[in-house]
Amino acid sequence: MIFERDGKLFYRQDKDFLCIEPWGPNALRVRATPNRVFNDEDLSALLPAAPAPDATIWQDGGTWVLSNGKIQAALADNGTIRFLRPDGTPLLEEYSRMVKMAQPGKIPQAGFKSALKIRPRVFEPHYGTDNFRLAVRFEPNEGEHVYGMGQYQQPYLDLHGCTLELAHRNSQCSVPFALSSAGYGFLWNNPAIGQASFAKNMTVWTAESTKQMDYWICAGDTPAEIEQTFADTVGKVPMMPDYGMGFWQCKLRYQTQDELLGVAREYKRRGIPLDVIVIDYFHWPHDGDFRLDPKYWPDPKGMVRELNEMGIELMVSVWPTCDDESENYDEMVERGLLVRTEAGRRGPVLMKACVIDVTNPECRDFVWQRLKRNYYDYGIHIFWLDEAEPEYSEYDYWNYRYFRGTDLEVGNIYPREYARMAYEGMAAEGQENIVNLLRCAWVGSQRYGALVWSGDTDSSFRSLRNQLRAGLNMGIAGIPWWTTDIGGFHGGDVRDPHFQELLVRWFEFGCFCPVMRLHGYRQPVKPPMGTNGGASHNSGADNEIWSYTPEMYEIFKSHIELRERLRPYVTSLMAAAHEDGTPIMRPLFYDFPDDPEAWEVDDEYLFGPDVLVAPILFESERERDVYLPEGMWRSALDGSEVAGGQTVRAKAPLEQIPVFVRSGKLEDVL
């Protein structure tokens, strides 16, 4: 039975209950469940729907159609769905192998006559509960390209043919929004652990434990239109504060107040612009104290004041963990503010610590009050919200239970709620333009000021190649604030010429990332300073720009100065991300959707509309091919003008990667 109610289409057949409704311009939300009603909205990534006054519903034989701008949903009398443009061009079709052929002259039903008896939506019950394992299947579109979905450590920009785990890990972010070259965007609006497979024969989305199917789909004429519709639906980043536009200095790890201030003073003495400097982890007496160890950080307020006088902001690392020696542990256990396990002890699940349960609003308030008292009130207004997946000793998703449900059902919302904890606390203090650094994200994290970095990657050119694709797909997935550990995190020996070359190339790439941040756990490691608190943990080798060779120093210095000259341009890109959800770094097809070659290029990108960047991704490479889309382009290396629509061979001396600028743009900068 199909019926209309309040501008929505419903389908009911025994335990199959389906709803299709307009959700903003050119977009639809689709839900289904075997249960009596749909679930509460607190797990949804969607903001309240914007009005869709032009949406209409009509019946065509056994098929009902809901039309909303540039998209239509054709719902057949057997419950299967096809998504179309108003002219009948197919966008996406459910994969069904048990339906009848369409009647001549009628809108065709999904699927075709088959003895396979494969349904497009399958709910497998977890007996004794109202949760299910869900699989939803769609037909593939021939020649389709798929982008977005977050951050995965793999060398693929086009995700067609890929199978992706819908789960977070250190350096992996599941942000399940896919942009298709067929002209639609698709959000899997479900935080359950699962999988997405964009295979040649079918596309399959799965959730291991859920009460309902929930997805959102929109149509658009260009990737930019689709991206803006998506951003309007799930939220946009705040405006990046001015101190986010330049260079950030970081390492694992500054061990004392004197050491950190000494580095800041040296940048100031050398006249090198520095926006942010960072205190990394284990600066606390015990994990979960959420405060600086006074033995090594005796005057936080004075430290912040001196840094601010030099024009530098301080960022401090926070972990979402609490060990049993912390001053906060007993109260957090008593109040139920820690993640539980289904088997064995509550902890330890990470080192010696338990994980705080940020899906619990009481926990978010408890931790924020300590962050406020011990950091924020000293003038520390940027937090590094590390371990945001959260990171467990083992990613046994079946073993963890949150306030809001099991990890299998709700686990992917964790980093969003972690960002929300700090954002809402800072906003309540009257702070605007909030930015915090996180190692993970889910849909909606961006509206809580999440600057996501690509995690603890290894120091290799292979890893650099992966980060390029990861950053581009994060932008398409709606997370425009993205960065990396310049040089990678693990395995970089400061004495190794191979690593030194990698660091130079990564630094040059980092200059053209949304945020330019140097970090890493450099070798050889420095021993711990003591046996208690933060002093019991070691530190990596020096990682300031003068810590390497004189040639490297000059390259680093020149790129920091270049970033400063780019500051007005970067500010304009941040404004576009804030206002329209526009990715700051994006694939060529974003600005050149009518160029078939632009959809194939995966080793270069646009940094805003006017700068084309071709990173050096292989060791010893001193030139490379660069595809230039239509238009006239100027080489930043020698100023020569080059016509687009062709591939050119560009020189890449160690001191500069190939960068091309639209003619007439940024002439005093590049």
Tens-place pLDDT, residues 91-110 = 999 999 875 544 444 454 55
In sequence order, what E strands does 255-338 have? 276-279, 313-318, 321-323
Contact partners, residue 539, CB within 8 Å, separation at least 6: 251, 252, 253, 254, 255, 525, 526, 528
Q: What is the mean pLDDT of residues 545-554?
A: 98
Q: How confident is the model at residue 111 (pLDDT cuts 50, 70, 90)?
A: low
Residue 54: how many other CB atoms lie within 10 Å: 11
Nearest by Cα to 123 from 132, 112, 111: 132
Give the separation between CA 310 and CA 521, rounded to whole angstroms: 26
Q: Does residue 390 have a cis bond before it (omega within 30 degrees)?
A: yes
Catalytic residue among 280, 456, 508, 603, which? 456
Give the separation between CA 212 and CA 134, rounded to whole angstroms: 8
| Tokens encoding 393 | 């000793």
Give the separation between CA 635 and CA 663, rounded to whole angstroms: 9
pLDDT tens sequence across 462-490: 999 999 999 999 999 999 999 999 999 99
CATH number of the domain located at residue range(s) 2-234 in this protein: 2.60.40.1760
Confidence check: pLDDT of 337 > 90 = yes
Confidence check: pLDDT of 409 > 50 = yes
Q: What is the mean pLDDT of residues 441-467?
A: 98
SS3 (DSSP) at 359: coil
- Which amino acid is it at 11? Y
pLDDT attached to residue 101: 45
Catalytic residue among 386, 387, 417, 604, which? 386
Which of the residue ranges 115-119, 245-249, 415-419 would you say has the lowest mean pLDDT? 115-119
Residue 246: how many other CB atoms lie within 10 Å: 20
The strand pair at 132-138 and 203-210 is best described as antiparallel
Place of tokens 């509460």: 40
What secondary structure letter does DSSP report for 526?
Answer: B
Nearest by Cα to 486 from 515, 440, 519, 457: 519
Which helix H or strand E contains 605, and what residues bound it?
Answer: strand 605-607
What secondary structure letter does DSSP report for 192?
Answer: S
- Which amino acid is it at 338? L
Domain boundary assignment for the chain: 2-234, 242-320+356-394+410-580, 587-662
In sequence order, the β-bridge partners of residue 58 are: 65
Annotation says 389 is catalytic? yes
Contact partners, residue 541, CB within 8 Å, separation at least 6: 494, 522, 523, 524, 525, 526, 547
CATH number of the domain located at residue range(s) 587-662 in this protein: 2.60.40.1180
Contact partners, residue 294, CB within 8 Å, separation at least 6: none
Confidence check: pLDDT of 142 > 70 = yes
Half-sphere CA count of 564, side-chain side, radius 13 A = 11
pLDDT tens sequence across 325-336: 999 999 999 999
SS3 (DSSP) at 565: helix
The percentage of the chain sitting over the pLDDT mark of 70, rounded to a whole number, equals 97
pLDDT tens sequence across 186-214: 999 999 999 999 999 999 999 999 999 99
pLDDT attached to residue 102: 47
Give the separation between CA 239 and CA 227, rounded to whole angstroms: 18
Residue 130: how many other CB atoms lie within 10 Å: 13
| Tokens encoding 232 | 């309007």
Q: What is the mean pLDDT of residues 155-163?
A: 98
Give the separation between CA 651 and CA 220, rounded to whole angstroms: 38
| Tokens encoding 342 | 């289904």
Annotation says 542 is catalytic? no
pLDDT tens sequence across 12-52: 999 899 999 999 999 999 999 999 889 877 899 999 998 88
pLDDT tens sequence across 356-369: 999 999 999 999 99
Confidence check: pLDDT of 348 > 90 = no
pLDDT attached to residue 112: 59
Give the separation between CA 493 and CA 502, rounded to whole angstroms: 11
Annotation says 603 is catalytic? no
Place of tokens 């700051």: 584
Catalytic residue among 389, 485, 603, 604, which? 389
Contact partners, residue 576, CB within 8 Å, separation at least 6: 582, 584, 608
Nearest by Cα to 38 from 170, 130, 172, 175: 130
The string of DSSP codes covering 399-447 is GEEETTEEHHHHGGGHHHHHHHHHHHHHHHTT--S--EEES---TTGGG
The percentage of the chain sitting over the pLDDT mark of 90, rounded to a whole number, equals 91
Name the average pLDDT for the chain: 95
User: Does this chain's domain 242-320+356-394+410-580 share its CATH topology with 587-662?
Assistant: no
Q: What is the mean pLDDT of residues 210-235?
A: 98
Give the separation between CA 167 and CA 220, rounded to whole angstroms: 28
CATH superfamily of 242-320+356-394+410-580: Glycosidases (3.20.20.80)
Confidence check: pLDDT of 53 > 80 = yes
What secondary structure letter does DSSP report for 332?
Answer: H
| Tokens encoding 56 | 């209409």
